[in-house]
Amino acid sequence: MSRGGVFLSKKSFTLSEVLITLVVIGIIAAITVPNIIQQNKRTRVETQLKKFYSTMSNAARLSEIQNGISTAEVGFNAFGGKDAGEKFFKEYLAPYLNYMKIDCKYKNESGEERCKVYMNDGSTFTMYNHYIGFADGGSTSCVEMYYDTNDTRGPNTDGKDIFNFFLCTKFNGFDYNGKQVSVDSFGTFPNAKNLTRNQVKFMCSYKNNGRYCTELIYRDGWKFSKDYPLKI
């Protein structure tokens, strides 16, 4: 083909060049796509944890203002009985939460009936009463909440998609190391408050202890740090 006396050549890609290009693209995708998926999952869980902490803290505070009584104390006593858990939730927490339903006939892995709350974002939490003692003889009565970021979709593992929060009566005292400890309504595991970050990290990695994993993420600003001991 000529244009104005100048001959032009039109070069096309060979089959081998096309195949090599596709292979390179495939390799890059295989490396980057899983990382993107993992990062999106981590970000989603971080957002859910921060939101749940904020929402439940606010609900507990408003409930105490409205009812003039410790929400944690009422809850602890309620979950000591078989049918009082649902009444406690609907009266003291539900007015301040966006949720779909509560099922107090839910059975956990041990076959025990627990109250399970289904949130609007697809997450759930189950409630138990939990008594925590301290070295000076003091104690705090808590409602422990097992928060599952994606309900039954898996992996259903502590520290990965299941995290622990505590609604506790106020307490000021000393732990078993002689350090002062202060518990104030809704938060993370009271017994982890005076541990160093490395201690908390070790306990998180030890049998995937969700109570300490929640504390670790909380200390890191509701973020999975680079040295988080579990793969999310």
Residues 50-68 have pLDDT tens digits of: 999 999 999 999 999 998 8
- Domain assignment present for residue 56? The answer is yes
**Higher-confidence residue: 228 or 129?**
228
Within a 10 A sphere around the Cβ of 181, how many other Cβ atoms? 21
Per the structure, how many domains does the chain have?
1
Q: Are 181 and 134 in contact (CB under 8 A)?
A: yes
Measured distance between the N- and C-terminal CA atoms of the chain, rounded to whole angstroms: 60
Strand-pairing partners, residue 116, are: 103, 126
- Domain assignment present for residue 186? The answer is yes
- Domain assignment present for residue 224? The answer is no
Nearest CA among 203, 199, 215 for reference residue 53 = 215
Instruction: Identify the domain containing residue 104 by its residue range.
Output: 44-190
d(CA 188, CA 179): 18
- Domain assignment present for residue 196? The answer is no
The length of the chain is 232
Q: In the predicted model, what is the mean pLDDT of residues 112-128? A: 92
- Domain assignment present for residue 170? The answer is yes
Q: Is 179 helix (H, G, I), strand (E, B) or coil?
A: coil
- Domain assignment present for residue 25? The answer is no
- Domain assignment present for residue 119? The answer is yes
User: What is the pLDDT, as a whole number, of residue 17?
Assistant: 73
Within a 10 A sphere around the Cβ of 65, how many other Cβ atoms? 8
- Domain assignment present for residue 78? The answer is yes
Within a 10 A sphere around the Cβ of 173, how many other Cβ atoms? 16
pTM above 0.85, yes or no: no
Determine what percent of the chain is predicted with pLDDT higher than 90. Answer: 46
